[in-house]
Structure 1
Amino acid sequence: MPFAEAPLLAREYWQGKLKGPVICSDLGWYTKGIYPVFLMQFMLISLFYVVLRILLRPLRQPQFVCSVLAGFLVSPSVLGRTKIFSASTFPHEELLLVRTIGTLALTYLLFLLAVKTDVTVIQRSMRNASIIGSSTMLMTFAALLLMIQTLSLPGIRKGFFHYIFAGIVSLTRFPNVVYAFNELNIMTSDLGQLAMSSSIFSEVLLWAWLFIGIYLRYPAQFIWSILAALGVILGIIFIVRPLIMLIIQRTPEGKPVREFYIMSIFIGSLLVGVLTDMIGSMHFGMLLFGLVIPNGPPLGSTISEKIEAVCTEVLMPIFYVSIGYNMDLALIDFKITSEIFLLTLVCALTRVVGALSAALFCEVRVRHCLLLGLMLNIRGPYDVYLLNRWFIKKDIDNQTFTMAILSDIALTAIVTPLIDRFYNPHTRLIASIPKCTRSMQTAPRNVEMRVLCCVHNEDNVLGIISLLEASNPMPESPICAYVVHLDELIGRTIPIMVPYEKQMTRVRSKSSSQPIMRAFENYSNNSKRLVRVKPYTVIAAYKNMHEYICRLAQEEQIPLIIIPFHGSRDTSNVMELVAFRNLIQNVRIYAPCTVATLVDKGTHCYPSKASSISCAVGVIFIGGTDDREALALAIRMVGQPNVGVAVLRFIFPSVDGDLDGKLDQKLNDELIGVYRAKLHITEGCLYHEVAVEDSDQAMSHIRALKDKFDLIMVGQTRRAGSLFSDNTMLNWSENPELGVIGDFLASSDFCGEVTSVLVMKHHGDPSCSRHNAPNERDREYLLRRTVC
């Protein structure tokens, strides 16, 4: 029998026997060529996806749209109609393998998202999320059910399935929202987290709707289904959960989780999925199993690292191939097309109205209510999976399936760019920065000085404590240090910022913040109450961390942010190094105050119980806002016992400057005058002026400072057009973000492992008052952090 007749035999053989995803077993001689076709499709969909991403990037299209379109292009209805590939190239029985792998990918994707989900996000915003989620779902369900009953829609099975179709389509799936928001970079926003909380509530409604459907369709089996589900839940809570916690306890701090434990969890999750599949839903068991695993390190982050790349980059493309297999544009009828598109439009508009009315009740601004409605309209892989399952079970026909998929693509393709355009996180941060930002120059010297200290790891602790102590905390001007531990978002879906005490009450596993916060707490106790510490932990992706840092600085009226710097010579983790340096750059761009970048070389000067500090601080002053910030901090250090401050000012030949240049020079002279006035009442402080002709002579004098100071402070940049301009010299810098002088001071040629460097950068007009803040309406939204 020729191979061309094999698809027909396969259809006859499997007709009525295929109940769901199965492993492609030995089907006989007509399975020849399936594996090569499978590999070819995988390569083609990867190629088409990359091409579509490049072409659609200017239109801001998300990954979901590109993936579904790539799967459709690989399908027999498109690629199979070309001259290069014949119809026999896509045998029907090959779909069994594709569908099985695609379902496995989606199942593991749900397990991965469950592991990364922080269930406490529901508790933090239960009221608003439940109101918005239920209102949106009920209004959309009622509108969809009315439309389905009104329109003919012959492609949708009559009877009780109308209620199932309207109920499921009216929900917003949490996994879809997470992937879209991560791509849009709005997961850290208040509105984004409210939308994710609402989608989590929709997931709860989905499982409730599942049991309601069982009761209405199979009342005799309802009790057994409830008992079976309760048995699975209790088994996971009282058997699986203790075993998971035992694995965490047996993992030494700082050590990776054993491979045996990881493989046992992967196999156990599949076993639970098989058991819950017997009661109606494999995803129910995978979701519960993932939720009982604590997110983050050590276990949650390890599972995410092991499975995420394989699931999203290898297995998920095959899922989209299975979707494209069932799409056929040749069967589309105009009447069906218009009705499905009308149904999708009514669903989208009703969801916006539902979110708008509920969000207004929760006192959310109108503009953000509309954006929230758009966010809840995002579609994703779990929506098309349900449509594909309904098509396989003959609940919907091919025309309805194809148009429903295209409608979801069109809706997401329209909604996503609108959200990206009108709810950009960088735009929000720029709007939150007042025209007059806070600075060290305008910070009053007779009140408490607030400093935000960013800590990346334990190596940064001693250097920041030394700088705080050198900043001269006094009874009339104590220091309040907001210590923020920057923890990368690994093994979690939702970024958070919490006070350290609250984090400890909700995290049972060992925290990397403990030794860091203990060190600052000990320093605060030994400072005779002159230094007060408020600890925080930020758990977010590096690309989003600057939002939390800048918001905290804005809300608490902080004039100075201290953030550590890791040089380019540190190659222990190149990807993390690049991400952290980008974080520093983002903080400098969007901070509402001065940002001090500390290059810590290991020379620390802070007091213990039995000794006092001894520290030599140098300031290189050329002029400009950033240099004045360094000098203002040095003025505060004057008077600290055993801290000697020396200011080296370079005087260039006078040139005819504009009005801004003259004002800048006046501000320089005034601040120098304040410092020189303190020299008469304080010993150990120096001031020296050096006349130089050009920048080369200035650099020569800077080289002479080698090994003479424990800490050197300098501004990052100067006014454009000055004789010491950075525009041309930055091309030769190893770390251009430190500026020309800062990069030279931080280099091993200058200070080696002896002298630390503090580079000051101020964004805004420093002549304005630190008390200038945004209006109360903007403050209520812009400065609000995650509620814990």
Structure 2
Amino acid sequence: MSASRRTSTIGIIGTNTTLVCQYTDSITSKGTWFTESIFAYTTPCLMVLLILTFLASRLTHLLLTPLRQTTMISHIIAGVLLGPTFLFKNEALTSILFPPGGKVIFETLGNLGLIFHLFIMGVQVDSGQLHKTGRKAVAIGLTGLLFSGALGFAVHLVIIHIHHLESSTVPITYALIVIVNTMTSFIVVTKLLTDLKILNSELGRLAASSSMVCDCVTWVASMILMTVGKALQLSQWRPLVTAFAALSHYIILFFAFRPLVIWIGRHTPEGEPLNQNHFVAILSIVLLASFLGETVGQSATLSAFILGVSLPDGPPLGTALANRLETMASGILLPTYYMVCGLRAQPKSLVGKRSIWYLAFVDVAGHIGKFLGTLLPSLYFRISFRDSLSLSLIMCCKGIMELIIYTYWVDKKFIDNGIFTLLLFNMLGITGIATMIVSHLYDPSRRYRVNIRKNILDSNPNADLRILVCIHNEENVPPIINLIRATNPTRRHPISIIVLQLSELTGHVSSTLAPHHQRSKPSSNLKQSERIVNAFEYFEQHSQGHVIVQHFTAEAPYETMHVDVCTLAVDKRTNIVFLPFHKQWTIDGTVGAIFPSIRNINRIIMEEAPCSVAVLVDRSQISSKRSILMGHTLYSIGVFFLGGPDDREALAYSKRMAEHSNVSLTVVFFNWMSGCLSHNETEMILDSELIDEFKACVVGFKERIIYRNENVENGMETTKIICGMDDSFDLVLVGRHHSPGSPVLSGLTEWSECPELGLIGDMLANSDFSFSVLVVQQQSPGAKSLHAPKHHHKPTDRNADSRIYPFLEDESDQVRIQLMS
């Protein structure tokens, strides 16, 4: 049988109705040797369509990446370009690559991916955050909604009054467009913020909270309008029946399907992957919910989304489902849906139809209303004009939720392909332009850029030392606590610790930075999180009141996690940030685990932090000495001083350690040739002043302090001396950078494996040493000098107890952030 006879055919039945005829045995071909065209068969045709989808969408996204466009926009544009209007203008080629039978299956596959994608998006939404939304977010969300609706309806009424439109359905279409323009989808905004890498910024959290308020109101209005609008087209009594069926459907989702999915999720052991049988059972429930939605006249995708929203987000269920489903649903199947939407566009249908351009005015008016309705209240709340403008543009962006509504309207005959094309192009243009502007307009790092950066060297010796501690897992806790214990907190020199538990944003769509006790859900694992808190609280309780601890939790993508660290450091005016190294050692001295994501976070923090930064390379579990600072054995600490601001910061920090009764401190000065610490005269003066000051301050503890002067000519001699001290210390302090061009480092650059630790720090961290290493970096203090020999401090009330309010001293110039919108 010839291929022409086996090709699917189409015919027109009635008004705007197309019938596709397909042979039942045209699934797989027998090969090119036995058929005239393999495109007459469904399976090879579907394969070619998928290949075209992946290639075209990825290539388009690659070309649009410099313009900071989202993947959704790139995929839709690829579909438009592959459509019959542009690349495939030849009808014969279009009929081969996009036959009616293959296109139906392709669209079905895309809708299946959309169902699972919306379900995952729903699972990741924390609906409990709605009642925690702040006054600012509620006002901005509602004002934007009202302005958009008011201006859209005003333009709609003016056009209807002035022009006598022929079609009686146009006024209903106007109303539908006005309602959708009031919408700002929460999952669309959070996806956009993630793509722009500002999800956990101050503006990003405000935008997410505002969109959640707007989303809840407009979704209810949209569902009611679509249900009633469809029912009114059928008969007089059908609206009540359809509305009752829809309500019953969602009640079944919440009171039957939701408990069933949660019950299945509870059978998954904590920290274990989702069982295969449980995973298949949940997918079956999702498909059943979508099927029931189609049965009662509701959208299958909307049913899956609402089922997902009703489920608890985050671990264990939300994270497990996202890990199992996201790659297949969002990475493979969803682009086919975007491609189908792009292929539906018919730009030629926009020519010569005045009514469509009237709708364009209504659509643009709704966006203008949304923009003004967000901009004005933002300025009222004293948000800067730059940030208010960025927020207004973000709230005007549309995405997958609006696209679903547009395609639903086309399928249900609310609108035709011409109006769909207009709405699609408006969405692409407005969202694409807004994305580009926001990416260049808003920089979250401006929030923590300060003129004067905090450090230890220039801090008030009579004030509390403020340390921000970053914790990724339980293994980070013991070495950090031992390090703080070695810092010797006393009544005269108390320490304020801000513990920030960092966890990757998985199973959620909104980031969090909040005090630990205010979090709505655990950041990753509740038991691990509580054990970390308990460890620091135990340390605080046994510190005789010399240590005050505050706990914070941050959930964010690894790419932007540094924003939370730097923001909290500015807010709490910390002197130094402690970061764990990205490698962990086993007891036999081998590297047990490597975390590249933690390394990237450390790199960015060291570049952008508003205060000093220290990276702790912990080898305490393999050290031959097991000093714990609480017994009779001295905890041996070494300071390698080669000169420069970072070494001076390390020496200033060691001065606090020198006062500890169980600490033995050795300061090793590496001098060049004739005894000079540095070949730079200015740096040499600053180094000498600090050394003299250090010796004067620790004169009372000189029996536990050793000074060594090592004269070297090059980096080889420096390395040889350091290697000879392997068994001499439990902990070594060293600066990240040293005096530029110093001869004592010559020849070491080619050995660098971790440049973020500096030359000496890299050598100590990646060699076979048994001691722990603390690599210290002093951020440039801006207007202040690198070293202040004399401190001009305010008078201190000796009768006041500085332990009670360690975070309230001298904060008149500090603008505090609102951690939760």
Q: Shared fold by TM > 0.5?
A: yes
| Alignment equivalent of 1:138, drawn from 135, 146, 169 | 146
1:264 equivalent in structure 2: 281
Q: Distance in 2 between matches of 1:462 and 1:506?
A: 21
Q: Distance in 2 between matches of 1:185 and 1:746?
A: 31
The equivalent position to 2:466 in structure 1, one of 450, 456, 466, is 450
What RMSD, in angstroms, separates the aligned Cα atoms of the two structures? 3.5
Residue 39 of structure 1 corresponds to which residue in structure 2? 47
Deviation at 1:786, TM superposition (A): 2.6
What is the distance in 2 between the residues matched to 1:247 and 1:499? 32
Matches within 5 A, 1:86-105: 86-105=94-113
Given the two structures, how large is their TM-score scaled by the length of structure 1? Answer: 0.89
Q: Higher mean Cα deviation, 496-505 or 667-676? A: 496-505
Letter in 2 for 1:273: S
The residue correspondences of 1:511-522 to structure 2 (distance < 5 A) are 511-522=527-538
Q: What whole-Å deviation, never above 9, does each CA across 1:317-350 have from its counterpart, x for those lacking one? A: 2112211332233444166576565444333322
Instruction: Indicate whether 1:273 and 2:290 are aligned.
Output: yes
1:254 matched to 2:262:
no
Once the two structures are TM-superposed, the CA of residue 693 in structure 1 deviates from its matched residue by 2.1
What secondary structure does 1:681 align onto? helix
SS in 1 for 2:469: strand
Q: Distance in 1 between matches of 2:565 and 2:379?
A: 29
SS of the equivalent of 2:208 reads: helix
Q: 1:347 aligns with which of 349, 354, 366?
A: 366
SS at match of 1:85: helix
Counterpart of 1:614 (choices 616, 631, 634) is 634
Asked whether 1:760 is paired with 2:776, we answer yes
Distance (whole Å) between structure 2 residues aligned to residue 433 and residue 259 of structure 1: 48
SS at match of 2:476: helix
Aligned to 2:24: 28
User: Which residue in 1 is equivalent to 2:606?
Assistant: 588
- Alpha-carbon spacing, 1:409–1:156, altered in 2? closer, same or farther (3 Å): farther
Give the secondary-structure state (helix, strand or coil) at the position aligned to 1:513: helix
Flag structure 2 segments of 5+ consecutive residues without an equivalent: 28-39, 795-807
Deviations 1:431-454 (A, max 9, x none): x32222111111222222211111
Indicate yes or no: 2:578 matched with 1:531: no
Compared with structure 1, are the counterparts of its residues 705 and 661 closer, same or farther at alpha carbon in structure 2 (3 Å cutoff)? same
| CA spacing shift, 1:266–1:126, aligned 2, 3 Å | farther
- Map 1:202-351 → 2, pairs under 5 A: 202-213=214-225, 214-215=227-228, 218=232, 220-221=237-238, 224=241, 227-228=244-245, 230-247=247-264, 249-277=266-294, 278-333=296-351, 336=354, 339=358, 342-351=361-370
Task: Specify the alignment match of 2:742 in structure 1.
Answer: 722
Q: Match for 1:194 among 206, 214, 221?
A: 206
Q: Is the 8 A contact 1:442 1:767 kept in 2?
A: yes
Letter in 2 for 1:294: P
The one-letter code of the counterpart of 1:370 is L
Where 1:188 maps in the other structure, the secondary structure is: coil
Contact 1:451 1:481 in 2 (8 A): yes
Q: Distance in 2 between matches of 1:167 and 1:362?
A: 27
String of CA shifts for 1:112-155, please: whole Å, max 9, x gaps. Answer: 11111122332232533332222222222232233344446879
Q: 1:468 — aligned with what?
A: 484
Conserved 8 A contact 1:439-1:770: no
The number of residues matched between the two structures is 771
**Displacement of 1:4:** 5.7
CA distance in 2, matches of 1:757, 1:777: 36
1:559 to 550, 562, 575: 575
CA distance in 1 between partners of 2:79 and 2:498 (Å): 50
What aligned pairs does 1:607-686 form with structure 2 within 5 A after superposition?
A: 611=631, 614-653=634-673, 661-682=680-701, 683-686=703-706
Aligned partner of 2:402 in structure 1 is: 383
Distance, in Å, in 2 between the alignment partners of 1:778 and 1:39 is: 63
More displaced 10-residue stretch of structure 1: 662-671 or 306-315:
662-671
The DSSP-based 3-state class of the residue aligned with 2:311 is coil
The 3-state SS of whatever aligns with 2:88 is helix
Is the Cα–Cα contact under 8 Å of residues 228 and 239 in structure 2 kept in the other structure? yes
For the pair 1:358 / 2:377, whether they are aligned, the reply is yes
Deviation at 1:637, TM superposition (A): 0.5
CA–CA distance in structure 1, aligned partners of residues 25 and 258 of structure 2: 47
Residues 1:229 and 1:393: Cα distance change in structure 2 (over 3 Å): closer
Q: Does residue 410 of structure 1 match 2:429?
A: yes
Aligned to 1:10: 10
Are positions 1:64 and 2:67 aligned together? no
Structure 1 unmatched ranges of 5 or more: none
The sequence identity of aligned pairs, in percent, is 27
Which whole-Å CA distance do the structure 1 matches of 2:182 and 2:442 have between them? 24
| Alpha-carbon distance between aligned partners in 2 of 1:729 and 1:508, rounded to the nearest angstrom | 41
Change in 2 beyond 3 A, CA 1:488/1:718: same
What is the rounded CA distance, in whole Å, between the counterparts of 1:514 and 1:272 in structure 2?
Answer: 37
Partners of 2:13 and 2:102 lie apart in 1 by 14
Change beyond 3 A, Cα 1:249–1:510? farther
Question: 2:32 maps to what in 1?
Answer: none
What is aligned with 1:601?
A: 619
In the TM superposition, what whole-angstrom CA distance separates every residue of 1:532-551 from its partner, at most 9, and x where no partner exists? 22122111111111111111
